[in-house]
Amino acid sequence: MTTIRAFVKRHPLLSFYALAFAISWGGILIVVGGPGGFPGTKEQAETLMPFVLVPWLAGPSVAGVLLTGLLHGREGFRDLLARMRRWRVGARWYAVALLTAQLVFTGVLLALSLTSTKFLPSILATSDKAALLLMGIAYALVGVSLRSWAGRGSPYPG
């Protein structure tokens, strides 16, 4: 274990990227059932996509948390939690940061939907709006919570 820790301390960025890659792609391979399990049809790909997104998005955040613990131990986690609780700007700026991309994306899709219904936002085209909203909220909460764990105390470059 000391040789691994020594390597990680000497090469934290390389270790982060290797671990994030391994977690993301390892998780994807587990979800699809190994290298031979990659979907061959569009329907198979659409069925697996929500399950593939979880390890794909979790890889960098989980790697950041693991390396924070490996490099800085309990003190690193304590520092990370203290920084997570501290608000640096007002709630209005958090709302701007979280909603700008979604509003721009929806506006572009609405403008493009004037030329073709294929561009109609999913929330307007689906009959099960509650399920779509719940899935979006769940992905947002998972992404925000995992991303918030990867703070400045870790080698995560974000």
| Average per-residue pLDDT for the chain | 82
pLDDT at residue number 149: 54
Interval 11-33: pLDDT, tens: 999 999 999 999 999 988 888 87
Q: Map out the domains of the chain as residue ranges.
A: 2-149
Interval 140-156: pLDDT, tens: 777 666 655 554 444 44
Q: Residue 64 and residue 157: Cα distance in Å, rounded?
A: 9
Share of the chain above pLDDT 90, in %: 20
Which of 151, 144, 8 minimizes the C-alpha distance to 70? 8
The one-character DSSP state at 40 is -
Interval 90-109: pLDDT, tens: 888 888 888 898 889 888 98
Rg (the chain; Cα; Å)? 19
